[in-house]
């Protein structure tokens, strides 16, 4: 531990909002120029800790304990002095770059506002500093003039503007609340590099809040693990990551390690290679019509899926990875018959199912789907039994009431819930349970293929591990094939026998998971792999 | 930007064209023979014949429509049957009362609603907010013509500060004219101001919950600065929509309010014409009012583009 | 649960509706009998709200007038919903098609005609009457509901539970009825109360200028119109019908606000 007094020090901080306790007994410190990683799952109170430091708490919040910045107790400062401090000595960046910028102001205005607020500079000087700051975060003036608006930038570029706002006045402390969670993995790598270089070159202290152990392990000097508003463990990175003491930390590590990209994975199960082909996709093309520009005119069509071919064998688990906008969701929809095909062929059990340019009803029986959002994929007004039995609609002869109920109970039990859960409404379940219900719904028509569209992406790492376990078990017991679509390489590596890599509507590489991950052939695959953060455990 | 403008302009013209067709059909085709309708049951056959030829009813429907439309575009609104004067002149006279009245009311309602809405939103949950909410709830519930009656009772009958009705004319000076429009404008503006205040408040509250407001606070803006510099402009989008809709309510309201105060505006003209079955006047005045509503919608669309850079983009 | 305006709103609306219903069975006095000798009576024990220039009992007239107001506004909302909601669902199901474009442009067109203008057009040709008021207000309500429904349905169409229903092989009609409609009922109920109150105001305005219900059917708007020339003589004539309108509209608005607060948080929790 450093002998000099810490830049930031929290002592027994507790927080309640409308009498509901949010944080309890939070004590931590951050030295100047150091990086502190704050780890926790959703609801652990890590964002509220950040907002407490900024003194930007929601209405009805009451904070006790002391938050000292440069030896000054923040909660005793006047609001005007806090405004002086925010943006000049403490900067903050947020999780959601798409909404963190004011849509009606240019990026130049938004960066220079923060400069002119804290520095007595002329308009020209402020403008010059704005340009330098944007250059500093990698947005060259030539490509990104000051009069650009946020909607003209990508998510990663917007996050760079948010960082520019935060560092424009050279703060001593930068708080980054899940700064890369909403970004693609290659973009994430760029932002993390930027944060790291800013931290080293400007000598600022970084409070990095993340749920991702791998990200933290690559950035932090010290770590704090939070759970349900309390700190369960803290110390330097080597100690906590090397020898986690608390059961919760150990569980987090096990769950994360389960979904880690290992460079030397076990040999792939070869049995699947001998199974007959279940799904055969040839030269699939899907286009979105351009925006309607008049009553009869359209902008040119956008080709989201471009001559895609692949196959899935019975009982095989195939992963499809790609970043946002690569066309993987469109491909899912086309396979499910939710979108017309412009060209190509889909065969199921050697039988063509895409004859009418849309997948037939019979094919839908064999293919079911689990979506990403555990909150949005159920009609909130129906009971679970009705939700689960909805796919029975595709059967030629829908079963009677008794048999339907039997089937519902059976699938509920097979995903680890009870038959009684059928009478409940969906809002009575947690995110992980909802994904189990979504899996139950897909199982009820006894399909041979389940498409999992980012099915575990919205789940906390511990819950995610359990759901992946369930999928494993079901595949073994019922001989199911999976098409596992994800932006997350580690998840795909863990669950799939074979992997397809998709970029800009095309499949650029496919092969056995082990082979692709060990010896990626395509430049894009290599880039993806290099960008995926590794859980690095330094010696204690 | 140009693309957006042209599109809006195109839809404006299309709306006007279809609207004019509807007005024409309702007035000139649905009654069967407009001439005998206008003259009533007991008209002499030769009077009817004379009117028929004056109205050009011997020509085909499409031809008459074309004539009417080309006339309108050139400012020729036809001739009033009752007064034997060009409708355009009558309308022009009345417009000098109705238009100032609508603008006066729009000014009052905006001048009242913006500060009140901002004030309520920035003190949300507090006594100021509650007061504004209760007052606006009442303001919305009060019919403007009844409010006008109450104003007359108080300020004209009891206090004698204003005259109970009539128009002093612009000849006597701007102030005299404005004075006779003040009570009408207030009664028109108050319910609208109540609605606008609520929209302003709730729109601001929505924006205050956005992520970028947190960014603004994190860069060191005070709550007040953040509200004025970042929230207000974003909150304007729904407010503009409502202001556009309100203009058509103002027009409709003005027609009624002019009757309360015996103001010789377009509203009075239209009711007199209905009573006298002067369809030519009704047709043209309705079309003029539709034109006004559509123009305001267009101006609001332009204002959107001014407020929101996303709309200025080519592909939208 | 912060639905503070629900109860007062419901009570006010109940009061007006009860008065209207009661008037079918009983009113303090008969509204068709004139009693000129007892004209301009101030409120007293016999005539609680006084009498008008023809000696009719104001309270009785207000009770019967409530029938007109409620009937006109309710039927107009019914027309608006009955046509607007299916149009909105259809437009959303065929989003960005020419049909959608047509429906939305049709909406814009109707918005160019304020309800009063529609009433004026109809009256100019067919003469005044309560039916015309209903049609005018009803037409004006159609685009309001069509837009609301389309907007809400469009956002539901992209929700995953609708995708799941499509994967289960359900067509647009079944999805619209089974999944979309139940999820926008709250919105429609809230908007319905708002349009109801606007309808009451519009009906009063139309009757005030003589475009609504015709004598001898009592209506609040016409009572106000009749009171106008007598305002210095008998101010109470102008007071009570106006208060009746304010109470009804206020009640409906409070009810609408209350319903929204009451229905909304639950929806949020269920999400």
Locate A484 and state its tokens. Answer: 């596992």
User: Does residue A264 surpass a pLDDT of 60?
Assistant: no
Question: Given this model, what pLDDT does residue A357 score?
Answer: 55
Residue A317's Cβ-count burial label (10 Å; 0-12, 13-18, 19+) is buried
Q: What is the pLDDT of residue A260?
A: 54
Residues A402 and A422: beta-carbon distance below 8 Å: no
CA distance B251 to chain C (A): 8
Q: Which residue of B has its CA nearest to A158?
A: B212
Please give the pLDDT value at position C264.
65
pLDDT of residue A266: 43
* Residue A66, strand partner residues: A11
Q: What is the pLDDT of residues A193-237, one digit of tens each?
A: 999 999 888 889 999 999 888 899 999 999 999 999 999 999 999
pLDDT level of residue C223 (50, 70, 90 thresholds):
confident
**Cis bond upstream, residue C15 (ω within 30):** no
**pLDDT tens-digit readout, B46-59:** 877 877 777 777 77
Phi, psi of A2 (to 5 degrees): -70, 145
Residues of B in contact with A59 (CB under 8 A): 125
Distance, CA of C148 to CA of C195 (rounded, Å): 12
**For residues A359 and A368, is the Cβ–Cβ distance under 8 A?**
no
Q: Which residues in chain C have Cβ-Cβ distances shorter than 8 Å to A378?
A: 161, 164
* A127 against C50, higher pLDDT: A127
Contact A376 C160 (CB under 8 A): yes
What average pLDDT does range B240-255 have in this prediction?
Answer: 83
For chain B, the chains sharing at least 3 beta-carbon pairs closer than 8 angstroms are A, C
Q: What's the longest Cα–Cα distance across chain B?
A: 83
Residue the block writes with tokens 């005070």: B222
A449 near A482, Cβ under 8 Å? yes
User: What are C193-203's pLDDT values in tens digits?
Assistant: 889 998 999 88
> What does the angle CA A319 – CA A324 – CA A328 come to, to the nearest 5 degrees?
45
pLDDT band of C43, cuts 50, 70, 90: confident
Residue B256 distance to chain C (closest CA, Å): 7
Report, as an integer, the average pLDDT of A65-74.
92
**Consecutive H or E run containing B147:** helix B144-151
Chains touching C (at least 3 CB pairs under 8 A) are A, B
pLDDT at C232: 72
> For A338-359, what is each residue's pLDDT tens digit?
888 888 888 888 777 776 555 6
Token readout for A52 is: 């407490």
* C-alpha to C-alpha distances, B76 to B16, B69, B71, nearest whole angstrom: 17, 9, 5
Q: Which residue carries 């894009």 as its tokens?
A: A524
Average pLDDT over residues A472-491: 88
How high is the pLDDT of residue B40? 72
Residues of B within 8 A of A294 (CB-CB) are 7, 10
Please check the confidence at residue B298 and state whether its pLDDT lies above 50. yes
Residue A93, number of CB atoms within 10 A of its CB: 26
Taking alpha carbons only, the member of C206, C196, C240 closest to residue C61 is: C240
**CB–CB of C208 and B256 under 8 A?**
yes
Among A98, A104, A130, A167, most B C-beta atoms within 10 A, so best to mutate, is A104
Determine, for residues B282 and C116 on separate chains, whether the beta-carbon distance falls below 8 Å: no
pLDDT surpasses 80 at C174: yes
Average pLDDT over residues A189-195: 91
Q: CATH assignment of B93-312, given 1.10.3720.10, 3.40.50.2300, 2.60.40.10, 1.10.10.10?
A: 1.10.3720.10
Residue C129 at interface with chain B, using a CB cutoff of 8 Å = no
Read off the pLDDT band of B1 (50, 70, 90).
low
CB contact under 8 A, C168 and A380: no
Predicted confidence at residue C59, as pLDDT, reads 84
Contact B216 A162 (CB under 8 A): no
- Which chains reach chain A with 3 or more Cβ–Cβ distances below 8 angstroms? B, C
Given pLDDT bands bounded at 50, 70 and 90, which one contains residue A159?
very high
Query: pLDDT class for C114, splitting at 50, 70, 90?
Result: confident
Residues of B in contact with A86 (CB under 8 A): 217-220
The pLDDT value given to residue A533: 84
Domains and CATH numbers, chain A: 8-255 (3.40.50.300), 269-531 (3.40.50.300)
Query: Is the separation of the CB atoms in A50 and A175 below 8 Å?
Result: yes
Nearest chain C alpha carbon to A441: C164
The pLDDT score that the predictor gives to residue B314 is 46
A289, A364, A438 member nearest C169 (Cβ):
A364
Contacts with B297 from chain C: Cβ below 8 Å: 108, 111-112
Interface test with B, best of C106, C116, C137, C244 (most B CBs within 10 A): C116
Highest mean pLDDT among B63-67, B212-216, C26-30, C170-174: B212-216
The confidence score (pLDDT) of residue A265 equals: 41
Q: Do B153 and C238 touch (CB under 8 A)?
A: yes
pLDDT by residue (tens digit) across C232-242?
Answer: 777 778 888 88
Residues pairing with A501 in the sheet: A321, A509
Q: Find, in chain B, the residue whose alpha carbon is nearest to that of A58.
A: B209
pLDDT of residue B257 exceeding 50, the answer is yes
The pLDDT value given to residue C230: 79
Looking at per-residue pLDDT, the higher value among A12 and B175 belongs to A12
The pLDDT of residue A263 is 42
Which of C94, C104, C168, C177 best probes binding to A when mutated, by most A CB atoms within 10 angstroms? C168
Yes or no, beta carbons of B19 and C113 under 8 Å apart: yes
Lowest-confidence pick of A305-309, B21-25, B36-40: B36-40
pLDDT tens digits for range C17-31: 988 888 888 777 777
Contact call for residues A188 and A531 (beta carbons, < 8 A): yes
pLDDT band at A78 (very low <50, low <70, confident <90, very high): very high
pLDDT in tens, B205-217: 989 888 999 999 9
Q: Confidence band (pLDDT; 50, 70, 90) for A268?
A: very low
Backbone angles phi, psi at A507, to 5 degrees: -90, 115
Beta strands in A122-179 (DSSP E): 173-177
The domain locations on chain B are 93-312
Q: What is the pTM of this model?
A: 0.83
What does the mean pLDDT of chain A come to? 86
What is the reported pLDDT for A295?
55
Check whether A291 has a pLDDT greater than 80: no
Per-residue pLDDT averaged across B183-198, rounded?
Answer: 92
In this complex, the residue of C163, C183, C270 whose CB is nearest that of residue A371 is: C163
Cβ of C158: how many Cβ atoms within 10 Å?
10
Q: What is the pLDDT of residue A489?
A: 85
**Strand boundaries in A139-276, DSSP class E:** 173-177, 205-210, 222-227, 230-236
Measured between CA atoms, how close is C223 to chain A, in angstroms?
Answer: 47
A540 confidence band (pLDDT: 50, 70, 90): low
- How much is the average pLDDT of B19-25? 89
Identify the band that residue A293 occupies on the pLDDT scale cut at 50, 70 and 90: low
Average pLDDT estimate for A295-299: 63
Q: Which of A100, A118, A294 is opposite residue B211, by nearest beta carbon? A: A100
Residue owning tokens 């700064």: A179
B110 pLDDT band, cuts 50/70/90, is very high
At residue B125, φ and ψ (nearest 5 deg) are 85, -15
* pLDDT tops 50 at residue A2: no
Q: Which residue has the tokens 């790609």?
A: A322
Give the pair of three-digit tokens for residue B15: 């709306």
- Summarised one tens digit per residue, pLDDT across range C67-111 is 888 989 999 999 999 999 999 999 999 888 888 888 988 888 888
Identify any residues that bridge with A305 across adjacent strands, giving them in sequence order: A286
Nearest residue of chain B to residue C118 (CA atoms): B286
Q: What is the mean pLDDT of residues A282-287?
A: 90
Asked if A147 reaches chain B (Cβ–Cβ under 8 Å), the answer is: no
Cis (ω within 30 of 0) for the bond into C216? yes
The closest of B237, B136, B232, B265 to B192, measured between CA atoms, is: B136
C147 contact residues in B (CB cutoff 8 A): none
What tens digit of pLDDT does each residue of C55-76 get?
A: 778 788 888 888 888 989 999 9
Residues of B in contact with A88 (CB under 8 A): 220
pLDDT averaged over every residue in chain B: 85
Query: Chain A contacts of B229, Cβ < 8 Å?
Result: 113
Q: Is the pLDDT of residue A300 over 80?
A: no
**C224, B30: Cβ pair inside 8 Å?**
no
């Amino acid at each position: 531990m450093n002998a000099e007094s810490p830049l930031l020090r929290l002592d027994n901080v507790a927080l309640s909002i409308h009498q509901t306790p949010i944080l309890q007994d939070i004590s931590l410190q951050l030295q100047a120029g150091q990086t502190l990683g704050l780890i926790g799952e959703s609801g652990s109170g890590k964002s509220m800790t950040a907002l407490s430091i900024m003194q930007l708490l929601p209405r009805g919040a009451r904070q006790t304990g002391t938050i000292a910045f440069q030896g000054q107790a923040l909660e005793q400062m006047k609001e005007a002095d806090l405004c002086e401090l925010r943006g000049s000595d403490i900067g903050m960046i947020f999780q959601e770059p798409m909404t963190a910028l004011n849509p009606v102001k240019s990026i130049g205005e938004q960066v220079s506002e923060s400069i002119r607020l804290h520095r007595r500079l002329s308009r020209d000087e402020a403008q010059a500093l704005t340009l330098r700051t944007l250059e500093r975060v990698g947005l060259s003036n030539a490509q990104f003039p000051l009069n650009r608006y946020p909607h003209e930038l990508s998510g990663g570029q917007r996050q760079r503007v948010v960082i520019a706002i935060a560092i424009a006045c050279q703060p001593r402390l930068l708080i980054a609340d899940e700064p890369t969670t909403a970004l693609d993995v290659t973009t994430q790598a760029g932002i993390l590099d930027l944060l790291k270089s800013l931290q080293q070159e400007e000598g600022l202290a970084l409070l990095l809040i993340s749920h991702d152990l791998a990200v933290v392990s690559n950035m932090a000097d010290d770590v704090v693990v939070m759970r349900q508003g309390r700190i369960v463990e803290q110390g330097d990175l080597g100690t906590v990551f090397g020898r986690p003491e608390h059961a919760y930390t150990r569980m987090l590590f096990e769950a994360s390690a389960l979904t880690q990209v290992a460079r030397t994975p076990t040999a792939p199960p070869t049995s699947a290679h001998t199974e007959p082909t279940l799904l055969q996709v040839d030269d699939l093309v899907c286009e979105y019509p351009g925006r309607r520009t008049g009553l009869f005119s359209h902008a040119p069509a956008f080709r989201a899926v471009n001559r895609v071919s692949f196959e899935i064998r019975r009982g095989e688990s195939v992963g499809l990875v790609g970043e946002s906008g690569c066309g993987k969701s469109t491909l899912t929809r086309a396979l499910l018959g939710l979108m017309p095909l412009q060209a190509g062929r889909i065969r199921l059990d050697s039988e063509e199912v895409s004859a009418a340019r849309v997948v037939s009803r019979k094919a839908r029986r064999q293919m079911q789907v689990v979506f990403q959002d555990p909150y949005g994929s159920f009609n909130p007004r129906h009971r679970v039994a009705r939700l689960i039995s909805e796919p029975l609609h595709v059967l030629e002869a829908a079963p009677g009431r008794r048999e339907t109920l039997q089937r519902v109970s059976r699938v509920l039990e097979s995903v680890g819930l009870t038959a009684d859960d059928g009478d409940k409404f969906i809002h009575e379940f947690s995110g992980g349970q909802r994904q189990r219900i979504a899996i139950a719904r897909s199982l009820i028509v006894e399909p041979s293929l389940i498409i999992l569209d980012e099915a575990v992406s919205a789940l906390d790492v511990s819950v995610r591990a359990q759901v992946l376990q369930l999928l494993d078990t079901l595949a073994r017991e019922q001989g199911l094939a999976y098409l596992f679509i994800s932006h997350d390489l580690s998840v795909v590596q863990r669950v799939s026998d074979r992997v397809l890599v998709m970029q800009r509507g095309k499949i650029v590489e496919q092969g056995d998971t082990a082979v692709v991950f060990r010896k990626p052939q395509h430049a894009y695959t290599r880039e993806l792999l290099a960008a995926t953060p590794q859980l690095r455990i330094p010696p204690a | 930007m140009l693309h957006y403008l042209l599109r809006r302009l195109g839809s404006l013209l299309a709306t006007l064209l279809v609207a004019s067709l509807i007005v024409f059909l309702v007035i000139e085709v649905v009654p069967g023979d407009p001439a005998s309708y206008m003259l009533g049951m007991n008209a002499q056959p030769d009077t009817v014949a004379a009117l028929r030829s004056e109205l050009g009813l011997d020509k085909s429907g499409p031809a008459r429509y074309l004539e009417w439309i080309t006339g309108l575009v050139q400012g020729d609104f036809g001739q009033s049957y009752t007064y034997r004067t060009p409708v355009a002149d009558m309308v022009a006279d009345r417009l000098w009362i109705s238009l100032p009245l609508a603008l006066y009311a729009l000014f009052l309602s905006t001048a009242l609603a913006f500060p009140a809405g901002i004030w309520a939103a920035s003190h949300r949950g507090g006594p100021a907010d509650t007061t504004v909410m209760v007052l606006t709830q009442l303001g919305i519930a009060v019919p403007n013509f009844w409010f006008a009656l109450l104003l007359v009772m108080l300020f004209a009958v009891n206090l004698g500060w204003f005259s109970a009705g009539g128009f002093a004319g612009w000849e006597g000076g701007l102030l005299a004219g404005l004075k006779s429009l003040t009570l009408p404008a207030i009664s028109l503006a108050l319910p609208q101001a109540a609605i606008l205040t609520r929209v302003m408040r709730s729109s601001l509250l929505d924006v205050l919950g956005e992520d970028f407001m947190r960014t603004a606070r994190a860069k060191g803006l005070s709550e007040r600065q953040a509200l004025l510099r970042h929230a207000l402009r974003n909150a304007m989008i729904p407010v503009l929509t409502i202001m556009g809709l309100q203009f058509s309510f103002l027009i409709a309201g003005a027609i009624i309010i002019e009757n309360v105060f015996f103001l010789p505006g377009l509203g009075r003209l239209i009711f007199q014409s209905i009573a006298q079955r002067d369809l030519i006047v009704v047709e043209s005045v309705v079309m003029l009012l539709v034109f006004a509503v559509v123009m305001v919608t267009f101006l609001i669309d332009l204002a959107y583009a001014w407020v929101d850079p996303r709309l200025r983009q080519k592909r939208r | 649960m912060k639905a503070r305006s629900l109860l007062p709103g419901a009570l006010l609306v109940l009061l007006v509706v009860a008065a209207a219903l009661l008037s079918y069975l009983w009113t303090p006095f008969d509204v068709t009998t004139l009693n000129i000798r007892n004209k301009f009576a101030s409120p007293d024990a016999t005539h609680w709200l006084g009498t008008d220039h023809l000696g009719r009992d104001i309270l009785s007239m207000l009770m019967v007038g409530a029938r007109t107001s409620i009937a006109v506004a309710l039927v107009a909302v019914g027309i608006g919903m009955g046509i607007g909601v299916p149009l909105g669902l259809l437009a959303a199901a065929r989003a960005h098609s020419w049909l959608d474009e047509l429906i939305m442009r049709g909406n814009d067109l109707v918005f160019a005609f304020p309800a009063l203008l529609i009433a004026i057009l109809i009256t100019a040709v067919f003469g005044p009457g309560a039916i015309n008021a209903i049609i005018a207000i009803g037409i004006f309500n159609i685009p309001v509901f069509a837009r609301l429904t389309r907007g809400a349905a469009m956002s539901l169409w992209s929700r995953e539970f609708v995708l799941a229903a499509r994967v289960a092989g359900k067509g647009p009609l079944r999805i619209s009825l089974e999944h979309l409609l139940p999820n926008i009922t709250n919105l429609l109920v809230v908007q319905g109360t708002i349009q109801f109150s606007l309808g009451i105001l519009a009906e009063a305005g139309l009757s005030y200028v003589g475009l609504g219900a015709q004598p001898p059917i009592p209506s609040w708007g016409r009572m106000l119109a009749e009171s106008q020339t007598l305002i210095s003589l008998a101010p109470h004539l102008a007071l009570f019908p106006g208060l009746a309108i304010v109470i009804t509209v206020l009640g409906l608005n409070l009810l609408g606000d209350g319903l929204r607060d009451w229905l909304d948080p639950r929806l949020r929790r269920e999400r």
